[in-house]
Amino acid sequence: MVEVLIAVGVIVALFVGFNIGGSTTGPAFGPAVGAGAISKLLAGALMSVFFFVGAWTIGRRVVTTLGRDLVTDPGVFTVETSIVVLFFIGGALFVGNYVGVPASTSMTAVGAIAGLGVARGALDWGVMGEIAVWWIVAPLVGFWVSVMIGRYVYPTINRLIAIDSSEGALVELDRSGAVPIPRAGPNTTRREFLGTVTLITIGCLMAFSSGTSNIANAVAPLFGAGVALNPLILLGSAAVAVGALTIARRTLDTLGNDITDLPLTAAIVVAVVASGIVIGLSAIGIPASFVIIATMAIVGLGWGRATRTVTISEGIRGESKPTVSVGALAAEDPGEEAPDIGEEAPEEIPAAADLFDPATTGRVIVMQNVVPILSTVGAYVTFWLLFGFVW
């Protein structure tokens, strides 16, 4: 009987991992696949490898936090309670995908475990409080770092990693040697090659950061119930790999994902800022809320850019000059020099207040919290009923 239950638990954990692989590959490798730098198959493979590396090295710290430290009495994790917790995590992932409002898997998982802990009177409020504080601090850090980047260095980064695709394959495999070596394609410029390498590297960084924080969401409850950690990490990563190589093909196709929609430079900045924060939090054992951190980074970058001040050097060099495309800009006569940024009429610069007013942005953040809150309350009520009337 116990074997059957453990098998059910493992299957539910695999299902959660499978969905994580499916939903994370898009944001991580969407820009690289979209730019034609790598195939979807290679994206899935890189996702699998770097997720596993992240999970094996740093991810185990988060697993320990969720599976051990968050509850004062490790006994609350039985195979049965773990299955229920995993159902809530998987269900929340499903609801989030179905409704189309992104939700943080880590917040959902912490919520479900906290629901269990409160129902049993075994939640460690100190650990919970520490996690909650980081959930507020980390997005604010992401926001301010991105504001600074958007305001002061975005054009510089943009120039460094400008990627204009030329004809022909970006990267070719040189098969003349014993080991195939990737080489720049026939028309690939050096800068374009570097840009492409940057895109792929950043995808790998995001996959790694996902591994550090997301492996816990799939396997922490079973770890709490006493299953050994290393086999769990291997199994969870394998499930992620299956998701990355199968359903992720579809999520890579749909352009509905907000990171992929951004200009490439912005996608790269957001990826680096958000992944950096997630890896840092994971290293100290805190499950990070990637969705909210990334959202605040996107808002910060856009807001910082929209409220930019013209720097002296920029004004002199005449950078950030809008490209004149005749016909598109009805206000300008053909051939007329586009105005330098300092000379633009105020209404030409996107009104930051219109695009990111606090009420609008706040509503989006609140919606992102709905699924984790539902999972917390749902888990609490479910365990209260189960412990009161069934077990």
Size of the site for other proteins (CB under 8 A): 48
Please count the other Cβ atoms lying within 10 Å of the Cβ belonging to residue 302: 21
Using rule CB under 8 A, residue 355 touches other proteins = yes
How far is residue 235's CA from residue 16's CA, in Å, rounded to a whole number? Answer: 11
Query: Minimum distance between the CB of residue 96 and other proteins, rounded to whole angstroms?
Result: 10
Using rule CB under 8 A, residue 348 touches other proteins = yes
The identity of residue 229, as a single letter, is L
Using rule CB under 8 A, residue 54 touches other proteins = no
Element (H, E) at 385: helix 358-385
Using rule CB under 8 A, residue 352 touches other proteins = yes
Site for other proteins in 228-257 (CB under 8 A): 256-257
Three-class SS string for 313-381? HHHHHCCCCCCCCCCCCCCCCCCCCCCCHHHCCHHHCCCHHHHCCHHHHHHHHHHHHHHHHHHHHHHHH
Using rule CB under 8 A, residue 351 touches other proteins = yes
- Applying CB under 8 A, which part among 114-122, 201-209, 344-352, 379-387 lies near other proteins? 344-352
Distance of CA 28 to the CA centre of its chain: 7
Query: Minimum distance between the CB of residue 212 and other proteins, rounded to whole angstroms?
Result: 20
C-alpha triplet 46, 51, 57: angle, nearest 5°: 130
Q: DSSP letter string over 4-24?
A: HHHHHHHHHHHHHHHHHHHHH
User: Among 371, 365, 93, 107, which Cα is nearest to 251's?
Assistant: 93
Query: Minimum distance between the CB of residue 351 and other proteins, rounded to whole angstroms?
Result: 7
Alpha-carbon torsion 87, 115, 128, 363, what sign?
Answer: positive
Query: Minimum distance between the CB of residue 283 and other proteins, rounded to whole angstroms?
Result: 24
Site for other proteins in 171-230 (CB under 8 A): none
Identify which of residues 114 and 301 has a Cβ nearer to other proteins in the complex: 301
Identify which of residues 91 and 182 has a Cβ nearer to other proteins in the complex: 91
Using rule CB under 8 A, residue 318 touches other proteins = no
Query: Minimum distance between the CB of residue 177 and other proteins, rounded to whole angstroms?
Result: 42
- Applying CB under 8 A, which part among 30-38, 130-138, 171-179, 258-266 lies near other proteins? 258-266
Identify which of residues 356 and 387 has a Cβ nearer to other proteins in the complex: 356
What are residue 164's phi and psi, to 5 degrees? -105, 120
Distance of CA 53 to the CA centre of its chain: 17
What are residue 142's phi and psi, to 5 degrees? -60, -40
How far is residue 311's CA from residue 114's CA, in Å, rounded to a whole number? Answer: 49
Binding mask 12-51 for other proteins (x = CB under 8 A): ----------------------------------------
- Applying CB under 8 A, which part among 38-46, 134-142, 193-201, 363-371 lies near other proteins? 363-371
The identity of residue 12, as a single letter, is V
Please select the residue that binds other proteins; options are 32, 259, 272, 273, rule is CB under 8 A: 259
- Applying CB under 8 A, which part among 78-86, 133-141, 209-217, 359-367 lies near other proteins? 359-367
Identify which of residues 60 and 151 has a Cβ nearer to other proteins in the complex: 151
For residue 153, give Cα distances in angstroms to 135, 160, 180, 311, 326: 27, 11, 38, 10, 29
Query: Minimum distance between the CB of residue 307 and other proteins, rounded to whole angstroms?
Result: 9
How far is residue 329's CA from residue 320's CA, in Å, rounded to a whole number? Answer: 16
Please select the residue that binds other proteins; options are 73, 174, 253, 357, rule is CB under 8 A: 357
- 292's CB contacts (< 8 A; 6+ apart) are 104, 107, 135, 139, 365, 368, 369
Using rule CB under 8 A, residue 361 touches other proteins = yes
Site for other proteins in 149-168 (CB under 8 A): 150, 154
Q: Name the DSSP letter for residue 174.
A: E
How far is residue 172's CA from residue 186's CA, in Å, rounded to a whole number? Answer: 8
Site for other proteins in 278-317 (CB under 8 A): 291, 294-295, 298-299, 301-303, 305-306
Binding site for other proteins (CB under 8 A): 99-102, 150, 154, 256-259, 261-263, 265-266, 291, 294-295, 298-299, 301-303, 305-306, 320-323, 325, 328-329, 331, 348-352, 354-357, 360-361, 363-364, 367-368
